[in-house]
Chain A
Amino acid sequence: MMSSSFNIFRVGISVVIMCIFYKSAVDSLSELSPQKYFSTLQPGKASLAYFCQADSPRTSIFLEELNEAITPLQDYGISVAKVNCVKEETSRYCGKEEDLMKAYLFSALLFNEVKYITTLEDLQNIENALKGKANIAFSYVRAIGTPEHRAVMEAAFVYGTTYQFVLTTETALLESIGNEDIENAHLYFFHCKQVLDLTLQCRRTLMEQPLTTLNIHQFIKTMEAPLLTEVTEDPQQVSTVHLQLGLPLVFIVSQQATYEADRRTAEWVAWRLLGKAGVLLLLRDSLEVDIPQHSNVIFRRAEEGVPVEFLVLDDIDSLISHVESNVHIEEIQEDEDEDTKSPNMDVQDDEVAETVYRDRKRPLPLELTVELTEETFNTTVVASDSIVLFYAGWQAVSMAFLQSYIDLAIKLKGTSTMLLTRVNCADWSDLCTKQNVTEFPVVKMYKEGKNPVSYVGMLGTEDLLKFIQLSRISCPVNITSVQEAEEYLSGELYKDLISYSSVSVLGLFSPNMTTAKEDFTEAGNYLKGYAITGIYSEEDVLILSDKYAATLPALLLSRHKEGKIESIPLANSHAQDIIQIITNALLETFPEITVENLPIYLRLQKPLLILFSDGSINPQYKKAILMLVKEKHLDSLTPCWLNLKNTPVGRGILQSYFDTMPPLPLLVVVNLHSGGQVFAFPSDQAITEQNLLLWLKKLEAGLENHITILPAQEWKPPLPAYDFLSMMDAAASQHPTRKDPECTKEMDVQENDKKQHEDKSAIIKEPIETLRIKHWNRSNWFKEGEKSFRHDNKEL
């Protein structure tokens, strides 16, 4: 809630790229005259301007710094310019003091400024100037362009009209106001407004949290809040800005008799707890609620519903430490909250990897398949017809398929002459490479020394079973008599196989049609394991061709389900054409679409007409659609139906088409390949031939409205990756030169040439902790444990 108002500013800022950058090279510092600079300022846009006397040499290192900061600042929508102050210049930013370097952050809209200073004197001057007028937010950052710097700049946008923002990168300046921790950025709030006596110093409050936009915002809010509030209400009912910011409240319990002393104490406490808790003075006498006799302090946590604590504290220090220890806990909790909000990159989002991992402890009956090694492989595949699964133990997809493979072994146990074997390529890498296996999983069938056949079907038990069964017969089968041919066509010959392929293909050739026979045999070989094919080319082939009205060479297609036999002429068809003919023949006119067969029908590249049905299809509907097919009204579509009982995922599809599950049965047209529109047949109409035809006509004419359009976006990375490059950069910028930390440190101490700069002296400490973006306290505890076991060194 609090941060939302802040976001508005952020959006406003980040849109900007200052126009002055259009002219100059992007990464160089623009030099402008003051008039020109102010004329380029635009409302809502930010720019950092550095004002200098022309040709002032002492500032060059600062300028280099500034130059380096241009790009990061620009990313943030802040443009950078150098403004040359010529003598006659009257702008108030071109100061008279020659030494005073100033950099101002401008937002033309708010006209705020951030003063960049380098010496304690600068700071004192500003402080003196603002006593009795305004408060100061003084911050130290390690370098221009750091995240902390940006956070300060952002805060300046919001609060720049109220407070004077002052910025330095000078470690010496920070040290001179008594802060030794030069590695981290700091922000001080100087309470100057209430200082009326110019000889007095402004009170300072150091912000203790890291400098993030949110923290600064919170900190300043607490600075704005009244230092001490007097209340006479029930402590449980009081509400102040502190509670909203997640800070606790401390009530100092007072009574009329000791009011003056208590108030002084309370003020003292309030200063000490400024930014950490809200302090209130509670008058016991005028309060109706009962407060325990001896308690002098009431502590109320920010969380709702937590009862107030009544404390008896002897001195201020124990009060302070009580509050601070409680605030500390809250901070940690806050961190954890942040953690859960940001996506956790360590959570597995790959369904195959996750399911295989979750199933890793279940023992599989692997002994049902023969594990082959480099030594046993060749002898085994030569000795018996074998199916070989090549997989890798570390790869999730092949381990998922291994389960189906084992299921198949269970099914085939004792019934098949085919030996089911497997090779773990993680162990037998060379063997797999020799067998031309470079991806996993791969299934190959080895039959008596013949070239292995790769299995290219769905990686599942049923499809592989079908492949193995259909591979039992040669392809094509050589049929030797008319009677056998008839048995073949009727399905009698391979009774047990027609459940795997509902179509039997028979090629009819005259004995002298050698090329045609070769082409057909080649096609048959290609389709081995996927279709039942036979060949007949005896002298009496005419008996068959006459019977089925075929001109030789020809194909007979026997559809066992429908009990129909049709013939297709094969004249001048090459192997490729024959494969195409047979593959097309295997397609049904109105198939039940399933997970396994959808891809075949998608290859037709036509919009799908899908009838969703909960259970078997109503024969009436089927008839209607088949009629339309027959009358060639559906040639531009692929008609099919989906049985939600067999394919429950259909419900997921319907849910994405309609927000709520529509009544079934339901007919839709899905234009998958061009446009992605989904049209639904009106549910109030009966699915009849006429209604359907009318609707399809309207569809074609563009008179129907689609119910939804399928999203067309690309599949993007589900989550970001670790940005190691910037982590390395950040570390490198903390360790600019690992060689000479000592000498630069000495130079830093040296007098005037201060621009030698900040970070070099901070090299000593390791950056690891500061760089860690997140703490991964969940599920990583065991890794911590593992560390302590790592005593051994690794050799080459």
Chain B
Amino acid sequence: MRLAAAARLWGPPGLLLTFALHPALCLRPARTAAPPHRDYCVLGAGPAGLQMAYFLQRAGRDYAVFERAPRPGSFFARYPRHRRLISINKRHTGKANAEFNLRHDWNSLLSHDPQLLFRHYSRAYFPDAGDMVRYLGDFADRLRLRVLYNTTIAHVTLDKDRQAWNGHYFILTDQTGQAHRCSVLLVATGLWVPNQVDFPGSEHVEGYESVSVDPKDFEGQNVLILGRGNSAFETAENILGVTNFIHMLSRSRVRLSWATHYVGDLRAINNGLLDTYQLKSLDGLLESDLTDLAVVKDHEGKFHITLKFFLEESNQSADAITLPQDDNDNFAMRVAYDRVIRCLGWKFDFSIFNKSLRLSSSGEFSKKYPLVKASYESKGSRGLFVLGTASHSVDYRKSAGGFIHGFRYTVRAVHRLLEHRHHHVPWPSTEHPISQLTNSIVRRVNEASGLYQMFSVLADVILLKENATAFEYLEEFPMQMLAQLETITGRKAQHGLFVINMEYGRNFSGPDKDVFFYDRSVGHTEDAWQSNFLHPVIYYYRHLPTEQEVRFRPADWALPRPTAIHHIVEDFLTDWTAPVGHILPLRRFLENCLDTDLRSFYAESCFLFALTHQKLPPFCQQGYLRMQGLMGTESLRRHGIESGLLRDYATVGRPREDGGQRPVGSSPAPGLPVQPLDGNKEEL
């Protein structure tokens, strides 16, 4: 067993090594009770864990999913408390294209089974969380994913071993003390530890996770909510009509997702309180740092807000504590509250991971996430990947990697990386002749859901072959890993590459931006680079950028400075197939990058070129010369002649039979210059 794994790791070129290792392996004393081994262990049977399990299963890998609950998706069994998901379930788009439709389906996981689309589970645009639980259960069952339920992994340690794929095994110990040994650990535990702020009186604060969801319990009360995210607003929305008033307090200003283009910010569906606040009702928003706060309970059981340092000043009884309004009699929060509710979100559970795994948080601004590379691999230990919501540090506040409709694609990217790293399966790609270049790009930007959902995180990559006569198309590569593309994918990028990304305009999104300003949309192709809405951007590099270039790229740039860049102008319908508005400028860009002519031609034109030129344009070379020329029809030919792009050769300079002159003017064509088609080229 161990030998087999080693052999697979070293692969054919390492044959010698394997021989060398062989005696060493045999000499090694076998452990008496070696824990059961898995190549892949997935922690958590939430959406990300199940998604990874699906890909591992399809690839025929040795894996297991560990889930502490008896069913998948335990987070959704409890949250959101008010049961309404804010991920859209768009059941109709007017299009049949399944890939395209995933652009507007935020709940489904990726699978080959069309029955496992979320639209079969709910008719609601904002579905009930119970449907998500049911969906995840079905997903695991129908696909027969190997999930060990009721298995709580209590801690994870490292076991160094030179034979292991990554130089160490991950040892997972469950609640019964049973150990599991894993070559690769995929952590998909999500964020589930409620964020708490420690301040005097915080024991009086109710948490979102346990607060009543019955509006009756709030009848005629003064409510203070700490937090400004969707959970805070969702809670407020539920009780808005029955309370005296609701005040909301948080450190930063409210960020509206339609202004920031970040789905994690406040969604319009939850923002009823904003409406009433701005319409002079009693409800209101306040900004203050929560760590300076203190909550004091008076003898009536009501809560007063004061500042921490007032408490530190004097250690008096509750009713005698200094309140801000004592000095400042118009202090905003001078009323007494009946309830204080904390809705501050969740963080990653670091506690089960042994220090040796070096799974640290990703720094001051996103303490709630573990630190990972753009490949989702932990910076601390090789072979440990973080998937799903917990992996959101990669694109926090930027893209959708923290949500089902985003991480279903990043999980697939991680799986593709693992397939190459451990099983020598290169990143999937299709190879095409260069004449298909424009088509390949047009197709993907119009239907690809991964590019669309994970904009500016996952990008398609086109690797040119020698002399740019053909290319390989790789889908949904984590673009920040571009410098390491060759090692990650097992594909060669020696002859230049294109990267296809989707981007919003540079200065369009932001919490304080007016996203409805007049003239916000760009219609002219030459202004495409100023497009504001999500639109395709194509980068051309002559050489693969280096790690340095990626890391020290200009601010605001998704990638290092390319040799050339193209923006396809934003489109109201996100349909980038207009022949002149979208495809033509794209073709010109590609042509100029490759210094060739990428137009398509009818067989007759190729025939003419074949007998009047020594070289043919790629379309004729790769089509006509291979007996696959495009013959066209009579009506198309007529349009061609009308447009001046084709000539009517039947009327072209007939031979002078007896040397006599033909009447001039009867036939329109004879004086025309030869080949209007390639007239441009002759001058060059």
Chain A interface residues toward B at CB < 8 A: 343, 345-346, 348-359, 362, 373-374, 392-397, 400-401, 403-404, 407, 426-430, 438-440, 456-463, 595-596, 598-600, 602, 608, 610, 614, 647-653, 655-657, 660-664, 670, 672, 676, 710-725, 727-728, 738, 768, 772-774, 776, 780, 783-784, 786-787, 789-790, 792-796
A512–B652 CA distance with the chains assembled, in angstroms: 61
Picked from B564, B587, B674, the residue with its CB within 8 Å of the CB of A350 is: B587
A342–B104 CA distance with the chains assembled, in angstroms: 43
Among B9-17, B18-26, B95-103, the stretch that binds chain A is B95-103
Q: Given A400-B630, A459-B623, A656-B612, 8 other A-B contacts at CB below 8 A?
A: A349-B680, A351-B677, A352-B601, A358-B643, A614-B654, A661-B656, A722-B589, A738-B507
| Cβ-based interface call for B309 (8 A) | no
| Cβ-based interface call for B221 (8 A) | no
Subset of 25 A-B contacts with CB under 8 Å? A348-B584, A356-B579, A362-B635, A374-B96, A400-B632, A429-B100, A430-B98, A438-B430, A459-B628, A461-B631, A596-B603, A599-B625, A610-B611, A651-B652, A652-B675, A663-B655, A711-B614, A715-B597, A715-B618, A722-B589, A724-B565, A787-B523, A793-B258, A793-B515, A795-B88
Tell me if A456 and B627 are in contact (CB < 8 A): yes
With A649-B607, A672-B614, A716-B681 as known contacts, state yes or no: A354 contacts B572, CB within 8 Å: no
| Cβ-based interface call for B650 (8 A) | yes
**Interfacial chain A residues near B127, Cβ < 8 Å:** none
Tell me if A728 and B627 are in contact (CB < 8 A): no
| Cβ-based interface call for B516 (8 A) | yes
**Interfacial chain A residues near B616, Cβ < 8 Å:** 715
| Cβ-based interface call for B33 (8 A) | no
Tell me if A652 and B681 are in contact (CB < 8 A): no
Tell me if A721 and B596 are in contact (CB < 8 A): no
The 3 tightest CB contacts between A and B, nearest first, are A460-B631, A394-B577, A717-B591
A459–B629 CA distance with the chains assembled, in angstroms: 6
Picked from A394, A649, A722, A786, the residue with its CB within 8 Å of the CB of B649 is: A649
Closest to B645 in A: A351
A373–B615 CA distance with the chains assembled, in angstroms: 41
**Interfacial chain B residues near A650, Cβ < 8 Å:** 649
Tell me if A648 and B596 are in contact (CB < 8 A): no
Picked from B263, B584, B635, B648, the residue with its CB within 8 Å of the CB of A346 is: B584
**Interfacial chain B residues near A711, Cβ < 8 Å:** 612-614, 682
Q: How far is the CB of A115 from chain B (nearest CB, A)?
A: 36
With A351-B599, A711-B613, A796-B261 as known contacts, state yes or no: A648 contacts B652, CB within 8 Å: yes
Tell me if B627 and A722 are in contact (CB < 8 A): no
Closest to B98 in A: A430
**Interfacial chain A residues near B201, Cβ < 8 Å:** none
Tell me if A676 and B614 are in contact (CB < 8 A): yes
Tell me if A401 and B630 are in contact (CB < 8 A): yes
Q: Which of B605-648 contact A (CB under 8 A)?
A: 605, 607-608, 610-618, 623-633, 635-637, 639-640, 642-643, 645-648
**Interfacial chain B residues near A676, Cβ < 8 Å:** 614
A663–B626 CA distance with the chains assembled, in angstroms: 33
Closest to B653 in A: A661
| Cβ-based interface call for B138 (8 A) | no
**Interfacial chain B residues near A664, Cβ < 8 Å:** 655
**Interfacial chain B residues near A786, Cβ < 8 Å:** 523, 572
Picked from B530, B580, B681, the residue with its CB within 8 Å of the CB of A715 is: B681
Tell me if B597 and A457 are in contact (CB < 8 A): no
Tell me if A352 and B600 are in contact (CB < 8 A): yes
Picked from A349, A653, A717, the residue with its CB within 8 Å of the CB of B592 is: A717
Scoring A354, A602, A614 by chain B CB atoms within 10 A of each residue's CB, the highest score goes to A354
Scoring A396, A461, A595, A661 by chain B CB atoms within 10 A of each residue's CB, the highest score goes to A595
A776–B580 CA distance with the chains assembled, in angstroms: 14
Tell me if B526 and A721 are in contact (CB < 8 A): no
A24–B611 CA distance with the chains assembled, in angstroms: 52
Closest to B433 in A: A439
Picked from A358, A461, A651, the residue with its CB within 8 Å of the CB of B653 is: A651
A718–B628 CA distance with the chains assembled, in angstroms: 24
**Interfacial chain B residues near A346, Cβ < 8 Å:** 525, 580, 584-585
Q: How far is the CB of A638 from chain B (nearest CB, A)?
A: 12
A346–B530 CA distance with the chains assembled, in angstroms: 18
Tell me if A724 and B653 are in contact (CB < 8 A): no
Picked from A348, A460, A653, A657, the residue with its CB within 8 Å of the CB of B603 is: A460
With A429-B447, A439-B436, A719-B588 as known contacts, state yes or no: A457 contacts B613, CB within 8 Å: no
Q: How far is the CB of A657 from chain B (nearest CB, A)?
A: 8
Among B158-166, B167-175, B363-371, B438-446, the stretch that binds chain A is B438-446
Tell me if A725 and B565 are in contact (CB < 8 A): yes
**B80-109 toward A: CB 8 Å interface, digit per residue (1/0)?**
000000001000000111111000000000
A280–B567 CA distance with the chains assembled, in angstroms: 53
Tell me if A725 and B629 are in contact (CB < 8 A): no
| Cβ-based interface call for B292 (8 A) | no
A774–B520 CA distance with the chains assembled, in angstroms: 20
A397–B619 CA distance with the chains assembled, in angstroms: 11
| Cβ-based interface call for B521 (8 A) | yes
**Interfacial chain B residues near A723, Cβ < 8 Å:** 564
Q: How far is the CB of B560 from chain A (nearest CB, A)?
A: 12
**Interfacial chain A residues near B603, Cβ < 8 Å:** 458-460, 595-596
Closest to A783 in B: B523
Tell me if B639 and A355 are in contact (CB < 8 A): yes
Q: Which of B450-466 contact A (CB under 8 A)?
A: 453
A352–B605 CA distance with the chains assembled, in angstroms: 11
Tell me if A724 and B629 are in contact (CB < 8 A): no
A787–B522 CA distance with the chains assembled, in angstroms: 8
Tell me if B625 and A395 are in contact (CB < 8 A): no
| Cβ-based interface call for B205 (8 A) | no
Tell me if A721 and B588 are in contact (CB < 8 A): yes
